[in-house]
Structure 1
Amino acid sequence: MLVEQIYTGCLAQGAYYVESKGEAVIIDPLREIQPYLAKAESRGTKIKYVLETHFHADFVSGHVDLAKASGARIVFGPNAETTYDAYIAQDGEELRVGGVTIKVLHTPGHTMESTTYLLQDENGKDYALFSGDTLFIGDVGRPDLAAKSELTQEQLASHLYESLRDKIMPLGDDVLVYPAHGAGSACGKNMSKETVDTLGHQKETNYVLRADMTKDEFVKEVTHGLTPPPSYFPLNVLMNKQGYGNIADVLEKGLQALDSEAFEAAANKTSALVLDTRKPEDFAQGFIPNAINIGIDGGFAPWVGTLIPDIKQQILLVTEEGREEEVVTRLARVGYDYSIGYLKGGFAAWQNAGKETDSITSISPTEFEQRYRQDSTLKVVDVRKPSEYLSEHVETASNAPLDNLNDYLAEIPKDQEVFLHCAGGYRSMIAASILKARGYDNLVNVLEGFRGISGTDVPRTAFVCPSTFFRQGAN
């Protein structure tokens, strides 16, 4: 028996390859399916099942394409309804894979079709639980993401409480827990950076598995402090339920190399968004006017999903040379299938063609300190989350969280120099590019963000937030 976790850090997502005696299953695969096919082929293994723990909201699963390419059968748990061919397993049903058994455990709560899969080894011993978004390491799946659910988040949380108590907690302490996500995912709020643990250790440390916890306490704690999910989540759920275009076609369309003239013509003739995925510091030095910067080396996919509300938005790409396919693929992972080409030769080609460019002023934390000491009335805008801002912030700074930046435009002056910062410089450059495209010309980005500022003597204010049961999750 072989169990392999295939973890994708930029999505904080875990897919799984399980193999026994020439047969394999893939659990919650990403959209690019070639690595799974190559893995099975290299080992002379046939993929028998593609198991889905639920209809994912934060990424488009590869189940449809993988089943077509491998001949495997797609499996969901009870309550799942699809427009494509899939097997809807019953609670308690057992699937044979080589010499091992995978038991279907219906665990509604995160969504009503949510299902976990219990792997039993060749001797029939419970070995591992593939818990999807039902149970994370340190947390539990949030109960407010079920698309078009007739149930309230409190009712879903109540179902989740029962699922954990009736189906998961009775399992042995030595059972391994393999979740669908880790720290950084928006599907939970308190996830550990660890991606696997024993169930016994989770019973000791995970707040949702406290033995003396009542249902009312569970519902209150699980629903407390939930922030609105990214707008693309319901759209991804629909794609996962109804199917989607082949990723090969998406790549072919997105990987059209356009010279500067063709790129400019496409930008002028369509409503395409120019998305620049270079490093923030490179973008600041020069970019195509009205381009939006979301760096590929940061929290790329979640921020694309948060800030580009229409997954059918046409997109023109400016990337680092050689990373074009990576960018198109990572857009497709979250359902953005309408990339229509990229700038051949990158931004340097645009410059060499003598095209118009723009830039954003950036300064060091030291220079910011000097400017602030000279004039403490500087307009400083902190684009971090409200919880980060409340923890500690520059004394006179206002908070305009990047997630909802459009709601704060009226509070950001166009006729005054505005200093933007986040935690490390990634989000503030995204904000700067958005504001620049909306006609804000007096912007200054603080390099290194609050981490850099906190090493200076700039006055800061800290607020002690009301204590809750939750630890602050990693960002």
Structure 2
Amino acid sequence: MLTEGGRARALFSGGAVMLGAVARTDLLGPHLAVHLALEALSTLHVRLRGLPDEIRVFPTHGGGSFCGTGGRSGHETTLGHERQTNPFFQTTEVMPFLARILNQHRYPTYYRDMAAVNRGGPTLIGITLPPLSRLNPEEVGRLKDEGAAVVDVRFGSDYDRGHIAGSYCVGIDGPVSAWVGWLIARGRPIVLVGGTEVELRHAQRQLLRIGFDTIAGVLDGGIDAWRSSGREVSTFETVQVEDMAQWVLSAEPMTVVDARDEHEWVAGHVPGAVHMYVPDVPYRANEIPREAPVAVHCASGYRAGIAASLLEQAGLKRIIHVNGEYSDWDRLHLAESVPS
């Protein structure tokens, strides 16, 4: 709490109050989830009750993180705005509050060891990031052969037009640290590819913040340098939801993979689609027939790009990235399957 002249001016709320959300309460284990949820309820409706509406609130972060339940983007709010719009402030009865806060999506596996990393004292990033080593294609190829993960931070459409086979498509336009932390083992060397210098530095900072500090360097010259060296460049076909719908209606042999999470899947999905949430792809890709193309979609195209790269790592050949909004399916007045 920041006070000025005896008046409360700002609240650094951590996860107790976020923008349209609160922090999830199950990260320390299911045995503590209900207890912490009740503490959250008490914080919102008892501990903060005496604070004025105009107080500025600075949460630990905005929306888009697996740490919170729902939420919106941004860095600042006011207590009054949250009282009017945040569903957790508006839910005052115990059981409805528990039902809301404990209805959680899966979270990245690296969360499980973050507490130990933090207690051990991770290296401070500081104002200036450490330099990124510039690697030529030969060095990147050698590191990849030795087991390094190649992470391409370009937008999915750029990745589709040409990328290093076997690399990870984790675009800078999404939560890089969350997906790299979920899919790549801590301690595995990482090579960054693509993007501007600013974007590469942004990706580096995201990874350092979760303790992924084994960044071997960046591919100097990006994918153009890789291509110019005569090395293999892989491509994906990029289509929109409307194209996927036409294929479904044509009855051509094809597997549609829905890479969204379970909550999204049960709300409605493409008839005949196979549900395979992004982190499950490496373990279930062998379920997909190899003799027909596979079209991968999600809600926006971002996670589908990640899933497509994982399918390529699993050995599938003709991969189609549906890089568009799944809401177009409804706009086209197409029926969905809903589990009963």
Task: Output the TM-score relative to the length of structure 2.
Answer: 0.88
Q: Is the alpha carbon distance of 1:198 and 1:384 closer, same or farther for their aligned partners in structure 2, counting shifts above 3 Å?
A: same
Q: Which has the higher strand share?
A: 1
Q: Residue type of the partner of 2:17?
A: L
Q: Is the 8 A contact 2:187 2:212 kept in 1?
A: yes
Match of 1:136 in 2: 18
1:223-268 per-residue CA deviation (whole Å, 9 max, x = no partner) reads 2x112321122333333222122437x9546x11111122222222
* Distance apart, 1:167 and its partner CA: 2.0
Structure 1 CA distance for aligned equivalents of residues 202 and 89 of structure 2: 39
Structure 2 CA distance for aligned equivalents of residues 327 and 188 of structure 1: 21
* Residue 158 of structure 1, aligned match among 38, 41, 52: 38
* Residue 138 of structure 2, aligned match among 234, 245, 261: 261
Match of 2:186 in 1: 311
* Residue 291 of structure 1, aligned match among 164, 167, 171: 167
* Distance apart, 1:348 and its partner CA: 0.5
Structure 1 runs (4+) greater than 6 angstroms displaced = none
1:385-404 per-residue CA deviation (whole Å, 9 max, x = no partner) reads 22223333222222212133
Q: Is the 8 A contact 2:282 2:314 kept in 1?
A: no
Match of 2:98 in 1: 219
* Bigger Rg, structure 1 or 2: 1
Alignment root-mean-square deviation, CA = 2.8
Q: Residue type of the partner of 1:206?
A: N
1:16-51 per-residue CA deviation (whole Å, 9 max, x = no partner) reads xxxxxxxxxxxxxxxxxxxxxxxxxxxxxxxxxxxx
Given the alignment of the two structures, is residue 409 of structure 1 paired with residue 285 of structure 2, yes or no? yes
Q: Is the alpha carbon distance of 1:210 and 1:287 closer, same or farther for their aligned partners in structure 2, counting shifts above 3 Å?
A: closer
Q: Is the 8 A contact 1:321 1:346 kept in 2?
A: no
Structure 2 CA distance for aligned equivalents of residues 294 and 163 of structure 1: 37
Q: Which has the higher helix share?
A: 2
Q: Is the 8 A contact 1:424 1:452 kept in 2?
A: no
Structure 1 CA distance for aligned equivalents of residues 200 and 73 of structure 2: 29
* Distance apart, 1:217 and its partner CA: 4.5
Identity of aligned residues (%): 29
Structure 2 CA distance for aligned equivalents of residues 313 and 441 of structure 1: 26
* Distance apart, 1:410 and its partner CA: 4.0
Match of 2:116 in 1: 238
Q: Residue type of the partner of 2:318?
A: N
* Residue 3 of structure 2, aligned match among 120, 125, 129: 120
Match of 2:49 in 1: 169
* Residue 61 of structure 2, aligned match among 181, 192, 195: 181
Structure 2 CA distance for aligned equivalents of residues 365 and 275 of structure 1: 26
Structure 2 CA distance for aligned equivalents of residues 220 and 321 of structure 1: 44
1:273-330 per-residue CA deviation (whole Å, 9 max, x = no partner) reads 111112211211222221111111223222222222x221111121224343333222
> How many residues of Structure 1 are paired with residues of Structure 2 in the alignment?
339
Q: Secondary structure at the match of 1:152?
A: helix
Q: Residue type of the partner of 2:97?
A: F
Q: Secondary structure at the match of 1:403?
A: helix
Q: Mean alpha-carbon deviation: is it higher for 358-367 or for 285-294?
A: 358-367
Q: Is the alpha carbon distance of 1:139 and 1:443 closer, same or farther for their aligned partners in structure 2, counting shifts above 3 Å?
A: same
Q: Is the alpha carbon distance of 1:267 and 1:203 closer, same or farther for their aligned partners in structure 2, counting shifts above 3 Å?
A: closer
Q: Residue type of the partner of 1:160?
A: A
- Structure 1 stretches of 5 or more lacking a match? 1-117, 466-475
Task: Output the TM-score relative to the length of structure 1.
Answer: 0.64
1:205-228 per-residue CA deviation (whole Å, 9 max, x = no partner) reads 4343358524x54334322x1123
